[in-house]
Chains A and B, each alone.
Chain A
Amino acid sequence: MIKYSRYILDNGLKVIVHQDKSTPIVAFNILYDVGARDEHPDKTGFAHLFEHLMFGGSKNIPSYDTPLQLAGGENNAFTNNDFTNYYLSIPVQNIETAFWLESDRMLDLAFSPKSLDVQRNVVIEEFKQRYLNQPYGDFWLLMRPHAYKKHPYRWSTIGKDIRHIAGATMQDVKAFYEKFYNPCNAILSIVGNITDDEVLRLCDKWFSPIQKGTVIKRNLPREPVQTEKRTIRVERDVPFDMICLAYHMGPRMNDDYYATDLLSDVLSAGNSSRLYNRLVKEKQLFSELDAYITGDVDTGLFVFSGKLMQGVNMEVAEAAIQEEINKVRQKKISEKEHKKVINYVRSSIEFSNISTLNRALKLAVSELLGDIELINTEALKYSGVTAADIQQVANEVLVDSNCSVMYYMAAGKPKKN
C-alpha cells in the first residue's frame, strides 16, 4: 500500500504527497498535461523542444541547473505523446530549492533568444542521433503516420520533420507556454521524508501566488475505425529486414486495458514467452521479436516488431506471427500460463516501486488519468484478469482489418523467394 494525500490549490495545481521516511532524498515530480498530441500538425516536435527551453532560465532565476546543483540535486525531463514530465531528486534539507526553481519556471520564463537558438540545434542533433544516424532509427517516424490517419499520435514526439523544429519562432514558443504551462494544467507529486504540512506551507509560499491560467478542454480528432489491413514497404540501407504489425487498441482507461497488456505479456514477456521460444529459438525466423502495447492515454497500439534472420522470407515471417496470433485467439491460455503472467506482472510492479522517483511519476500519471488510486489498485486489476478475458481481447484487437503492417527491407541485398 502506498499512502498518499491529495490536495488542489486555489489556482488548480494538484499536489500529491507520499511520505517515505526511509530516504534522505526527496523525489519531486511535475507533470504538465501537454504532449505531442496537443501540437498543431504544421508545428510538430514543439512540446519536446519546449521541454528543452524550460532549462533556459526563468523570470527571476537566470540558470535552472546551477542552483539545483548547489543544493546537491539532479534533474531531468521527458516528453511523450501525452504529457511532459520534469523530475528532480534533492537532499530533503534543501527541498525548498526545488519549490523555488519549479515555481519560478511555472510563473514565467526568461525566453532568451540565445537559449532558443542553441536548443533548436541541440534538438536537431538529438533528432539526428536517435532517428537518422541509427539503423532502423526512422522506423517509428514511418510507422506512426501509417497506423494513424487522423489522431495526432500520427507524429512522434521529436516531430514529423526536422524543419518544424528549425522553424520554431520565439512567438510560437511564448504562445505555447502561455497556453499550457499553468498551475491548472499541472500535477506536482512529492515522495520523501516530508510531511503534508511542510509541503502545503511551501506550496502556499511558492506556487499559490501563480495565476491559474485557462483550463484547456482537449478536443482531438478521433482516429476512425480501421476497416481493412494496410501494408507499406520501405527500403533502407540496413543489414537485415524488419517487420512490424500494429493493431489499434482501446484507450488507457478502458476496462480491457489490463487484459490487453497481459496478452502482450503472454506473447512476449520474459524468456518463457511464446514468441521468443517458438519463433526466435525453435523456428529461428527472427533475431529479435517483441510484442508490446504503447500504453497511450488515447487509443493506443498493440505492436509486434521483429528483425528477420538473414535469408528468411518476409511472407514466412509474417505468417509465423499470424499463426501465433491465431493460437492465442482460438485457445484459452492454460491455468499455469495465466498464473505465470500475473506473477510476472505483480513482480514487475513491486520492482518498479522500489525507486522513489518512479513512485512519484506513477502517482502523477495516475492523477492525470483521473484515478489516483490506480497506484494501489493496478496490481489487483491485473490479478482480476481471467484467461477468457485475454482470449477475448485477442479476438477483438488482433484482427486483420485492424492491422497496419510495415515491411522494412534491407536495401541492396539479393531477393530470395
Chain B
Amino acid sequence: MIDRKQPPVLNSAHVLDIPEPMKAVLDNHIPVYLFDLGETNITKIDFIFEAGNRHQSQPLLAFYTNKMLSEGTLSYSAFEIAQKLDYYGAWLNKSVSKDHAIVSLSVPNRHLKYILPLLNEIINHPKFSDDELKTHTRKDKQAFIDDGRKVNEVAGLYFNHQLFGNRHPYGSLTTAEDFDRQQAEKLQAFHTVKYTADQCSIVVSGKLNKDILSLLNYFFGYTKKGKSETFAQQPAIVCSAGKKQFIEMPSSVQSAIRIGKISINKTHEDFMKMYILNTILGGYFGSRLMKNIREDKGYTYGIYSMILSFQQSAAFVIASEVGAEVCDRAVDEIYKELKIINSELIAPDELDLVKRYLAGSVLRSFDGPYQVADRFKSLLTYGLDYKQYYTELLHTINSITAVELLQTSKKHLGADTMLELIVGKAGK
C-alpha cells in the first residue's frame, strides 16, 4: 500500500531556456526581432507602434485609427479585406493600450505570401472614410452604454480617472458622446504622424519561412521615417478626485471594489520585488486576498491585485465584485490584509510556496514560440533586455527575503496611501 499522505518528492524547476531573437533592420530602419521556434507552421507578426492613447489629442482617436486600419485601404474595401483574411485563414488582431497600438497577424505559413501584400495596405495605406467610421462608432457606442450598466466596467473606467486625473491622458474619461465626435480626417492625420517607420518595431514568431525577412523588407521596408514629431510635454499626474469615491448603481446585487494607488513600472529597481509581493497579496489563486475573502468568507467569486505597468507610470490595483450586503466587510478585510503585509514578516512556509509557484509560473509563461515572443514584447517597449530581465527575475525569486519584502511593502503599499472606489448599492 502506498502512503497517500506522503507527497511525492519535488524537484526544483527546470532550467529556463530563454531564446534570443535574431535581430535585423529593414531598409527604413524598422527593427525586426525573429523567434524561429517550434514546429507549428503558423507565423505570427506583431507591429508595435508608438500610437497608444497617450499620444492622442482627443478620446478614442488612437483606438479608432487602429480599429479602422482594416476597414478600407487604397486598393481594397473593408469587405474585400475581410474576405481575403478569412479566405486565407488569417487572424488579424488590433489593439490599443495606453502607450501603444498593435497590429498582429497570425497566418498558416502556406498562406503567408498571399496575406503580406494585404497587410502592407492595411498598415501603410488605409483610407479612412466617415461612412465606415460612423457604422462602427454607432454600434460601439451602444456597447459602451451597455458597459455602463456593469459595475466592474464602470469601476475600471472611473478608477483610472481617480488615479491619474483628467489632465493626464492615462486618466482621461471616455464618454458616450466621444463616439459621435470621431472624424475620418483626424484618423488619417493621426495615422500619418504616428504609424511611421521610426515609431515601429516588428516581432515575428513561429516556425518561420526562410524568406521571411526579405518579404518583410519588401512589404514594410520602403516607407519613410515620418515626421518624428516630438510631442508636447505630457501634463503632470494630479489626482484631482477624492481619496474615497462612491458611484451609486442602486439596482446592483454586487458592488465593484477598487483599492489602489499609483505605483512603479518595470524600469524601477523595486519592480521585481513588487511583483513577488503582489503575487503574495492578490496575484494568484493561493493569495492572501483570495484565501481570506473568497475561500474563508465566501464574499466573492474572485479577488485579485495587479500591477499595471505603463511607459510613464504604473498602477497597483486590488479589484473584486462582492455581494452588496457584504461590501463593507470585504473592504475592511482588504485593509486588514494591507496592514498585515505592511507590518509583518512573511512566514517561511508561505514565502517558500510563492517562490516555487512563481518559478513554475515563469517557466509556463515561456511555453512555446508565441509566448516567448509575448514575453519579449512586454519588455521591448521599456528598452529592457528581456534575457537579462528574466534571468534577474528568476534570481530575485530565488533569493528574496521576508525582510526585503516587508521593506518593499512599507515603501510601496502603505494602507493609508490607497485610493478607494466603490460602485454599487449604497450601504445602510
Interface residue ranges, A against B (CB under 8 Å): 22-25, 59-61, 65-67, 69-74, 89-94, 96-97, 99-100, 103-104, 107, 117-122, 124-126, 128-130, 132-136, 205-206, 209, 237-240, 269-273, 277, 280-281, 284, 286-288, 307, 309-310, 336, 339-341, 343-344, 346-348, 350-351, 353-356
Majority secondary structure of chain A interface residues (helix, strand, loop or mixed): helix
In the complex, 20 of the A-B residue pairs with CB atoms within 8 angstroms, ordered by the A residue number, are: A69-B284, A69-B357, A70-B10, A70-B356, A74-B285, A91-B11, A119-B298, A125-B299, A125-B301, A128-B253, A270-B86, A271-B81, A272-B85, A272-B87, A281-B135, A288-B139, A344-B87, A347-B108, A348-B89, A351-B42
Query: Assuming the A-B contacts A24-B367, A205-B2, A272-B86, are A288 and B298 also in contact, with contact meaning beta carbons closer than 8 angstroms in the complex?
Result: no
With both chains docked as a complex, state the minimum distance between the C-beta of B312 and any C-beta of chain A, in angstroms. 32
Residues in B neighbouring A281, C-beta threshold 8 A: 78, 135
- From B138, B294, B297, B368, give the contact of A354 (CB < 8 A): B368
Q: Which of B1-59 contact A (CB under 8 A)?
A: 1-2, 4-5, 7-11, 13-14, 38-42
Residues in B neighbouring A125, C-beta threshold 8 A: 254, 298-301, 321-323
Check if A271 sits within 8 Å of B4, measured CB to CB: no
- From B14, B38, B41, B88, give the contact of A22 (CB < 8 A): B38
Known: A71-B10, A128-B323. 11 other contacts (CB 8 A): A70-B352, A94-B11, A122-B301, A125-B299, A125-B321, A133-B321, A135-B146, A272-B82, A280-B135, A343-B86, A344-B86
The CA-CA distance from A25 to B370 in the complex, in Å, is 15
Interface residue ranges, B against A (CB under 8 Å): 1-2, 4-5, 7-11, 13-14, 38-42, 70, 78-79, 81-83, 85-91, 106, 108, 135, 138-140, 142-143, 145-146, 148-151, 251-254, 284-286, 294-301, 321-323, 352-354, 356-357, 359-361, 363-364, 367-368, 370
- From B14, B81, B298, B356, give the contact of A121 (CB < 8 A): B298
The CA-CA distance from A269 to B150 in the complex, in Å, is 27
Output the nearest chain A residue to B40 by Cβ-Cβ distance.
A354
With both chains docked as a complex, state the minimum distance between the C-beta of B135 and any C-beta of chain A, in angstroms. 6
The CA-CA distance from A70 to B9 in the complex, in Å, is 11
Check if B367 sits within 8 Å of A71, measured CB to CB: no
With both chains docked as a complex, state the minimum distance between the C-beta of B345 and any C-beta of chain A, in angstroms. 20
Check if A72 sits within 8 Å of B363, measured CB to CB: yes
The CA-CA distance from A337 to B252 in the complex, in Å, is 45
Query: Assuming the A-B contacts A206-B2, A310-B142, A343-B89, are A134 and B286 also in contact, with contact meaning beta carbons closer than 8 angstroms in the complex?
Result: no
Output the nearest chain B residue to A125 by Cβ-Cβ distance.
B301
The CA-CA distance from A238 to B139 in the complex, in Å, is 16
Output the nearest chain A residue to B88 by Cβ-Cβ distance.
A343
- From B14, B83, B108, give the contact of A272 (CB < 8 A): B83
Check if A239 sits within 8 Å of B145, measured CB to CB: yes
Check if A134 sits within 8 Å of B368, measured CB to CB: no
Residues in B neighbouring A287, C-beta threshold 8 A: 138-140, 142-143
Check if B299 sits within 8 Å of A121, measured CB to CB: yes
Choose among B7, B296, B300, B361 the residue with the greatest number of A CB atoms under 10 Å from its CB: B7
Check if B150 sits within 8 Å of A135, measured CB to CB: yes
Check if A24 sits within 8 Å of B85, measured CB to CB: no
With both chains docked as a complex, state the minimum distance between the C-beta of B88 and any C-beta of chain A, in angstroms. 7
The CA-CA distance from A288 to B254 in the complex, in Å, is 27
The CA-CA distance from A385 to B88 in the complex, in Å, is 18
Check if B42 sits within 8 Å of A90, measured CB to CB: no
Query: Assuming the A-B contacts A118-B297, A343-B88, are A277 and B79 also in contact, with contact meaning beta carbons closer than 8 angstroms in the complex?
Result: yes
The CA-CA distance from A340 to B148 in the complex, in Å, is 37
Output the nearest chain B residue to A98 by Cβ-Cβ distance.
B8
Check if A118 sits within 8 Å of B298, measured CB to CB: yes
Residues in A neighbouring B139, C-beta threshold 8 A: 280, 284, 286-288, 309
Check if A70 sits within 8 Å of B42, measured CB to CB: no
The CA-CA distance from A377 to B9 in the complex, in Å, is 40
Check if B42 sits within 8 Å of A24, measured CB to CB: no
Choose among A74, A119, A270, A309 the residue with the greatest number of B CB atoms under 10 Å from its CB: A270
Check if A66 sits within 8 Å of B286, measured CB to CB: yes
Residues in B neighbouring A270, C-beta threshold 8 A: 82, 85-86
The CA-CA distance from A89 to B146 in the complex, in Å, is 36
Output the nearest chain A residue to B134 by Cβ-Cβ distance.
A284
The CA-CA distance from A348 to B38 in the complex, in Å, is 18
The CA-CA distance from A237 to B83 in the complex, in Å, is 38
Residues in B neighbouring A354, C-beta threshold 8 A: 40, 42, 368, 370
The CA-CA distance from A129 to B301 in the complex, in Å, is 8
The CA-CA distance from A307 to B141 in the complex, in Å, is 13
Query: Assuming the A-B contacts A91-B13, A347-B108, are A238 and B40 also in contact, with contact meaning beta carbons closer than 8 angstroms in the complex?
Result: no
Output the nearest chain A residue to B39 by Cβ-Cβ distance.
A22
With both chains docked as a complex, state the minimum distance between the C-beta of A70 and any C-beta of chain B, in angstroms. 5
Output the nearest chain B residue to A289 by Cβ-Cβ distance.
B139
- From A96, A107, A117, give the contact of B8 (CB < 8 A): A96
Residues in A neighbouring B41, C-beta threshold 8 A: 350
With both chains docked as a complex, state the minimum distance between the C-beta of A124 and any C-beta of chain B, in angstroms. 8
Residues in B neighbouring A271, C-beta threshold 8 A: 70, 78, 81-82, 85-86
Residues in B neighbouring A121, C-beta threshold 8 A: 297-299
- From B106, B146, B368, give the contact of A351 (CB < 8 A): B106
The CA-CA distance from A57 to B326 in the complex, in Å, is 26
Output the nearest chain A residue to B41 by Cβ-Cβ distance.
A350
The CA-CA distance from A284 to B336 in the complex, in Å, is 51
Residues in A neighbouring B7, C-beta threshold 8 A: 61, 67, 97, 100
The CA-CA distance from A65 to B42 in the complex, in Å, is 35
- From B150, B322, B360, give the contact of A90 (CB < 8 A): B360
The CA-CA distance from A245 to B353 in the complex, in Å, is 50
Query: Assuming the A-B contacts A270-B86, A272-B82, A344-B86, are A351 and B91 also in contact, with contact meaning beta carbons closer than 8 angstroms in the complex?
Result: yes
Check if A69 sits within 8 Å of B353, measured CB to CB: yes
Residues in A neighbouring B151, C-beta threshold 8 A: 133
Query: Assuming the A-B contacts A65-B285, A134-B150, are A240 and B142 also in contact, with contact meaning beta carbons closer than 8 angstroms in the complex?
Result: yes
